[in-house]
Amino acid sequence: MTVSPALVIFDLDGTLVDPAGSITGGIAHALEVHGLPVPDGATLDSMVGPPLLESLGRLADVPAEVMPAVVHSYRQRYISQGMAASRPYPGIPELLDRLRAAGYHLAVATQKPEGLAKKLLGIHDLDRRFHSIHGAPDDETLPPLTDGKASIVAAALTVNHAASSRAVMIGDRRHDAAGAAANGIPCIGVRWGFAEPGELEALDLAARVADTREAGDAVERLLPLDGHAQAAAGSGAAEARP
């Protein structure tokens, strides 16, 4: 019988990594290149987290016929400049090391294309700290997943052989809470990300935290390690990244 590990699932942009304007600036650049109006700063900030196609269509009114070209322009700039400009939030490497050392399994669930998520985490030497990394399809011309983040979170649970009762999600937006709730797991909301004013307070979160120390404390409170979890951590239920 496979023993369920204690699994902590992290969002990426706005939770692990500060895009440092690379997402909002890249979207503005792509819109300008194609002669489209650029939304105000608050609207651009709200586009961090959801699928790019959804944000461009719903918040920037990008016509369907030019959507592929806008996405291509954005992605080229993000790959060439954006990823290197982003930075892990203060205390994130230490939080991940703390949780790994305690015996937790760690995963990423993001609506960013999975290949880009892995590359971004690798650039910042974070990928090796996770047992698995899960994202949206790499083909960004496909429609956004109809279930939002639910199937991405479900993939993290499945790959790590983790029961929903032995998992917790950490994120900065309502999409993270919704993906967690769809899988029956609690969500910790972080205040350092891109949540709109009042967004976290309106959600049914297990905790709201202001820094990474509080995040670690919340994980340990909500998902205490017991003998079964520690056994799973040592059994290799999911292969750790090198």
d(CA 62, CA 66): 7
In degrees and rounded to multiples of 5, residue 4 shows phi and psi of: -70, 125
d(CA 104, CA 20): 29
Catalytic residue among 11, 13, 18, 176: 11
Inter-residue contact 94 to 28 (CB < 8 Å): no
CA neighbor of 49 nearest in space, from 205, 172, 227, 220 = 172
Active-site residue flag, 217: no
Q: What angle do CA 125, 130, 136 make, to 5 degrees?
A: 95
CA neighbor of 169 nearest in space, from 93, 242, 95, 108 = 108
What residues are annotated to the active site?
A: 11
